[in-house]
Amino acid sequence: MSTVTIEPLVGNSLRRSPKLYLNPKITPHFSLNYSRKPLSANVTLRFRRRRSTFALRASSTDAAVIETSEKSDVVLTETFLVKRPERAEGKIAIRLDKGKDEENWHLSVGCSVPGKWILHWGVNYAGDAGSSEWDQPPPEMRPSGSITIKDYAIETPLKGSSTILEGEKFQEVKIDISSKWSIAAINFVLKDEETGVWYQHRGRDFKIPLIDYLEDDANIVGVKKGSGIWPGPLGQLSNILLKPEAAPSKGEASSNDGSSLKNKRLEGFYEEQTIVKETFVDNTVSVIVKHCPDTAKNILYIDTDLPGNVVLHWGVCKDDAKTWELPTTPYPAETVVFKNKALRTLLQRKEGGDGSSGLFTLDGGLSGFVFVVKLDENTWLNCKGNDFYIPLSSGKYQSSTIHSEERKQDEESNSSEILNRAPEEKQAGSMFTDEIIKEIRNLVTGISSEKSRKTKSKETQENILQEIEKLAAEAYSIFRSSTPTVPTISENVVSEAEVSQPDVKVSSGTGSGFEILCQGFNWESHKSGRWYRELHEKAAELSSLGFSVIWLPPPTDSVSPEGYMPRDLYNLNSRYGSFDELKVTVKKFHEVGIKVLGDVVLNHRCASERNQNGIWNIFGGRLNWDDRAVVADDPHFQGRGNKSSGDNFHAAPNIDHSQEFVRKDIKEWLHWLREEIGYDGWRLDFVRGFWGGYVKDYLDATEPYFAVGEYWDSLSYTYGEMDHNQDAHRQRIVDWINATNGTAGAFDVTTKGILHSAIERCEYWRLSDQKGKPPGVVGWWPSRAVTFIENHDTGSTQGHWRFPGGKEMQGYAYILTHPGTPSVFFDHIFSGYRSEIGTLMSLRRRNKINCRSMVKITKAERDVYAAVIDDKLTVKIGPGHYEPPSGDQRWSLAAEGNNYKVWESS
């Protein structure tokens, strides 16, 4: 036997590209705002034809290894630079210590994670304690090395400290504080200058109060109100309180002058938060292609210095379309077939454990070899967002060199893209969850016993149920630490209470549970100029169909005619009609028993004027904000606010909801809309753009009957195919609902996507998750899920994600029989589907199906899905056969259409 002769492969360098984020297992109440840039692979190509000694040893365990002649052509050598993520944990620490006396204190902020850390900070003075705007501290308060940032902040570098925290070196900055400076609070964010990554607290700045008349705020760190109790969720962390002096008495007030620090005894504190720094380590994946003329086969040798178990997810292409296909057998050892579309081969570890390699023998005549690298279940590496592709046909080798220079231009950029990283589990203290669970159990027990004695009024029972749901919403973010899915408390305790009294009003913002929502417009509705009058004429008709809520288009003056680029919020003369026409239309819907939702765009707002730099960030009208109302991290609009608490919408200035004056103005505006127009609730646009806690603030202030947010992002896909498990996607929606404390629902985009794919591809098995429940938000938190199959974005003339044509009624058969609050699109109502939709709505109302109804999935196979709802309705969708189970319960066919049937219990 001859031996393999292979040139040394490119070694790895240890250049690291750090990314930083908070470890959600330890501290779920901090957020890190940064955008991860797409990563791409760098490629080094070498093409040559030479004769080399290349003999492959036959092996009984590796069927792909075959004997060849000693003479083979090396036709291609290609080396990919890939970046592998590594994580290192550290601590961020905040300490407030007393100095030589009660009037002098020391604040230190430090971090044990390596990096070039900067404290970006400012203060509030005693006379402006209620303001969210920063001021610069007095010069004598600024540590050495500080620089000024505009007129409102200071940046101070953290320096090496003698402190060793859990065996790690520590960087910190110390700030001296004196009562003579009349400082009411210190605000800061921590920034890693190497990467530009910022750390904030719940999407807002850290705030350390030094006087006790500051209003309670979710971003306060340390002791507030002189009580010695940690604020809000931070009380769940492992805090170490230093021995405080006696706190002021309950009735003691602090003055607003410079003596405020003298009148209040500060309490020292120390807090640690665990954070994780993510770095990217350079590794290589090298491919050598040899052609064996004796056998007419291509032999690929793949070598990598990636550590651990490396799996190659691969296939072959037979033409230029680069469609993945399975090669002919035999396959290498440690290879499994994945969904009959690709192969997964565990590369063999090298002696000494330094990397892995594999040998692949492929038939001639193939166009290419495609692969991606799987490091673990959540981390994949690919090439510039695409699959790695190795040309195999002789005519392709030279053509690949055309792109070599183009690829080399990317060498300074990041290399490999990390795909499908699962959300980390979150963790918080159990003390709070134990108390909440105890309260819920007591309430459930109490209502059950009182119901048996029939001594408690229905109103009291409703109040108890309201408290149960509020407690459940409060507990959710804490309790989900034990599992990456929705907590048991939401699935079990709440659902028991919900089912016991499904017809009660739950709480403000979530309606009665029996709503059927009509979206009262499409993308073209503004073009008539009289849309409000057209809806006025259809009000009675919509009421007769059974709709209880209608969602109207955005009412404000807008740069775009559709209304989603609002400008002057108090100007309600729009392309849909005038202010007066809107009022008359809302009144008409109220007369026919339909409640009205206003579509409010709170994330962004278009400016009316440019600033001195020519940037559109000066607003007009009654809310004449300036650039302080715009977030600071959108480079397009040069805002002077704080960092955004969500995802930026780059077409217009993103509003900084952390500003107190902004929240005050928005709440007044929403109040005005409720009082002046008569809106009963809200549809909230693009809620991904700002923290759900602000939504809770707005809903608490306006007490809507019903509210629903549009939290829209992409579902999970693996190489173009939708994943069966969409838990991560629905988890993000549920997390947002929970951030609102359950005061609002959300459009169930997860259900829309899964239903869409199941019907389009005849894969009805998708409609059951691993636990046999509905796979969308409706399977986890049904009372907060607003289900839909189409809206003005997905359908209408935009058609961004249009439901499979001709199969819409299967979708409506599903959402109108299942729990959640169904939303019906205007275009479908006034079409050939009107009669069928009306029949399904009538069945839902007649059988009192509500947002908390119970679902029992009885069949979820390739061509058919069936479920029983509340033991009152049975629904079947798909071309496959299904009949309700026979037995004591009798069923009669109540509705039927194209590949769907609904039976009613008789």
The active-site residue, picked from 685, 727, 808, 836, is 685
pLDDT of 880 > 90? The answer is: yes
Q: What is the pLDDT of residues 755-774, one digit of tens each?
A: 999 999 999 999 999 999 99
Can you give the pLDDT at residue 72?
A: 63
pLDDT of 336 > 90? The answer is: yes
Can you give the pLDDT at residue 468?
A: 62
DSSP string, 251-285: T----SSTTHHHHS----EEEEEEEEEEEEEEEEE
Can you give the pLDDT at residue 585?
A: 97
Can you give the pLDDT at residue 115?
A: 84
User: Average per-residue pLDDT in the chain?
Assistant: 77
User: Would you say 576 and 557 are in contact if contact means Cβ atoms under 8 Å apart?
Assistant: no
> Span 330-347, mean pLDDT?
91
Can you give the pLDDT at residue 780?
A: 94
pLDDT confidence of 48, banded at 50, 70, 90?
A: very low
pLDDT of 385 > 80? The answer is: no
pLDDT confidence of 659, banded at 50, 70, 90?
A: very high
pLDDT of 177 > 50? The answer is: yes
pLDDT of 671 > 90? The answer is: yes
Can you give the pLDDT at residue 510?
A: 78
The active-site residue, picked from 278, 680, 710, 763, is 710
> Which span out of 245-249, 274-278, 428-432, 580-584 was modeled with the highest average pLDDT?
580-584
> Span 43-54, mean pLDDT?
43
pLDDT of 503 > 70? The answer is: no
3-state secondary structure of 189: strand
pLDDT of 685 > 70? The answer is: yes
| 710 counts as catalytic | yes
Q: Which of 599, 690, 674, 703 is nearest to 641 (CA)?
A: 690
Can you give the pLDDT at residue 320?
A: 81
Give the residue with greater pLDDT, 780 vs 409: 780
**Contacts (Cβ under 8 Å, ≥6 apart) of 723:** 715, 716, 717
Q: Which of 775, 700, 229 is nearest to 470 (CA)?
A: 700
pLDDT of 221 > 90? The answer is: no
**Contacts (Cβ under 8 Å, ≥6 apart) of 700:** 743
Give the residue with greater pLDDT, 68 vs 345: 345
**Contacts (Cβ under 8 Å, ≥6 apart) of 545:** 829, 834, 837, 838, 841
Q: Which tokens in the block code for residue 688?
A: 């991904």
| 904 counts as catalytic | no
pLDDT confidence of 341, banded at 50, 70, 90?
A: confident
> Span 240-263, mean pLDDT?
36
Q: What is the pLDDT of residues 784-811, one digit of tens each?
A: 999 999 999 888 888 788 999 999 999 9
> Span 49-70, mean pLDDT?
39
pLDDT confidence of 894, banded at 50, 70, 90?
A: very high
Handedness of CA 576, 579, 584, 587 (dihedral sign): positive
pLDDT of 427 > 70? The answer is: no
Q: What is the pLDDT of residues 593-622, one digit of tens each?
A: 999 999 999 999 999 999 888 899 999 999
Can you give the pLDDT at residue 70?
A: 47
Can you give the pLDDT at residue 470?
A: 52
pLDDT of 735 > 90? The answer is: yes
User: Would you say 75 and 49 are in contact if contact means Cβ atoms under 8 Å apart?
Assistant: yes
